[in-house]
Amino acid sequence: MTMTYERHIPLAGATNFRDLGGYRAADGRTVRWRRVFRSDALHDLTADDFAVLRDLGVGDVFDLRTAHELDTWGIGVLTEHGLRHHHVPFNPSRGAQPGQVVTVPAFDDFEAFTQLYLDMLEEAGPSLGRVFTHLAESPEQGAVFHCTGGRDRTGMTAAFLLGVLGVPRETIAEDYALTGQYLVIPEVRRARMQEMYGSRPSLISEGPVVTPSEVITMTLAALDERYGSPEGYLESVGVTAEHREALQHALLGE
């Protein structure tokens, strides 16, 4: 019997929870379903949401937010429902202090946003290393990584992971852009983000969030220039060829 899987998982407490399975790699293999998920923040999940995560086999949560974001919103009741929470801040110094406003460029300024992503990657090595090592070493245990909105830090993590697995860049860009289809930031969270990130409408406006695929495409192209490839960047932060091969073995199927 053929199983049917859904990419977007509707949850009451998170609007941007998605399965990264089903994407086809260049060698013809396919990313396994129900192994790796990406999401916006999970602190508002309901009891019904946790039941869905159990059915999906999710056991580990990798939280890419800063310590300040973690203090602001917390993790809800993740651990009470048996999930293992791993705090792996993607860019720990950015917005780390209470009252520190993080400057976010307008999202139609692709070059400025690409530079923001490159700046964030200067600190992201330990976070990516921990997430990727876990995924390679625990292939049967489902895991989700998330930030606040599931767009920037989560989007870059997903782009690197899919790239390691051999998924074409056009597909990576399409996955990145899906956040614009699903992410709606709750009003109470939007008010706090207004304080933290200033008044840029691309991040905190009502309705779906803008996520043009050009931003991730330009970021990956910039990594080509700086490091030879995104894999060259990963090498520079300790994610070796052996790690990447282990990820492919763990997460790709026929």
Q: Average pLDDT over the chain, rounded to whole? A: 88
Closest CA to 150 of 191, 180, 116: 180
Model confidence at 206: pLDDT above 70: no
CB atoms within 10 A of CB 171: 15
Our separate counts of H helices and E strands in the chain read 12, 7
Mean of pLDDT values over 118-129: 94
Tell me the pLDDT tens digit for each residue of 53-108.
999 999 999 999 999 899 989 999 999 999 999 999 998 876 555 554 456 666 67
Tell me the pLDDT tens digit for each residue of 12-40.
999 999 999 999 999 999 999 999 999 99
Per-residue pLDDT band for 52 (boundaries 50, 70, 90) equals very high
Q: Which contacts (CB < 8 Å, 24+ apart) does range 182-190 have? A: 182/8, 182/15, 182/16, 182/18, 182/208, 183/15, 183/16, 183/40, 183/149, 183/150, 183/151, 183/208, 183/209, 183/211, 184/15, 184/208, 184/209, 185/40, 185/149, 185/209, 186/44, 189/41, 189/73, 189/148
pLDDT for 98 equals 53
Q: Which residue has the higher pLDDT, 237 or 192?
A: 237
Superfamily assignment of 18-94+101-245 in CATH? Answer: Protein tyrosine phosphatase superfamily (3.90.190.10)
